[in-house]
């Protein structure tokens, strides 16, 4: 009987060791699953942040394009190169190598004549096509420079020269 008792004790020791190894294996698998979920969540967060950064970058590029188009139209008006509102209407395609981006952009200027100047609508698209395209517009009133008023202000009157 002692021999049988010894076999049972040895068998139960092996069974307990196997159970312990199984419990450790389950704990390791649970830890790996937890770490994998954490890593996937961090990866998803970084992809969302990258998309937001790209959108903000494209939005900033659109704002710069609109500012440049308005400055160009203002300079043309100040130089006297605009005789009618149709002279402000144009579509400008900007290849990627002409702007700081890696994709092409587009500007559409639409001018409307008014009694004291022009109303200019600038629509900028960057990139022109694609899933992350940003399109914004800005309407602005451009006043025609009054050359007679500026001439009167620049030349002193005879009363101002009297001591």
The residue range of the domain holding 65 is 49-156
> Same domain, yes or no, for 55 and 35?
no
Q: Do 75 and 31 reside in the same domain of the chain?
A: no
Distance CA 46, CA 112 (A): 45
Same domain, 71 and 98: yes
Whose CA is closest to 68, among 122, 113, 119?
Answer: 122
C-alpha 58/C-alpha 132 separation (Å) is 8
pLDDT tens column, 33-77: 999 999 999 999 999 999 899 889 888 988 988 888 888 887 877
**pLDDT 10s digits, 78-118:** 777 666 555 678 888 888 888 776 788 889 888 877 777 77
**CA 131, CA 124: separation in Å to the nearest integer?**
16
Smallest CA-to-CA distance from 89 within 112, 116, 115 is with 112
Residue 95 lies in a domain: yes
Q: Could you give the residue ranges of the DSSP H alpha helices within the chain? A: 2-78, 147-154, 158-161
Same domain flag for 69 and 140 = yes
Q: Assess contact for 60 and 85: CB atoms under 8 A.
A: no
Q: Verify that 1 and 73 share a domain, yes or no.
A: no
> Does a structural domain hold residue 129?
yes
In terms of domains, do 91 and 129 share one?
yes
| pLDDT given at position 45 | 96
Tell me the whole-structure pTM to 2 decimals. 0.62
| Residue bearing the bigger pLDDT, 148 or 6 | 6
Whether 81 and 151 share a structural domain: yes
Q: Which residues pair with 121 in a beta bridge?
A: 110, 139
**Is the residue at 161 inside a domain?**
no
């Amino acid at each position: 009987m002692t021999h049988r008792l010894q076999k049972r004790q040895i068998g139960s020791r092996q069974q307990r060791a196997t159970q312990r190894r199984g419990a450790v294996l389950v704990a390791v698998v649970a830890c790996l699953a937890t770490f994998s979920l954490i890593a996937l969540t961090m990866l998803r967060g970084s992809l969302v942040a990258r998309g937001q950064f790209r959108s903000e970058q494209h939005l900033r590029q659109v704002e710069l394009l609109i500012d440049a188009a308005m400055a160009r139209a203002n300079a043309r008006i100040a130089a006297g190169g605009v005789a009618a509102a149709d002279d402000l209407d144009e579509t400008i395609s900007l290849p990627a190598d002409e702007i700081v981006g890696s994709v092409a952009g587009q500007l559409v200027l639409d001018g409307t004549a008014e009694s004291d100047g022009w109303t200019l609508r600038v629509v900028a698209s960057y990139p022109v096509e694609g899933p992350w395209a940003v399109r914004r517009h800005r309407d602005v009133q451009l006043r025609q420079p009054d050359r007679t008023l500026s001439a009167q202000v620049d030349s002193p009157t005879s009363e101002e020269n009297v001591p």
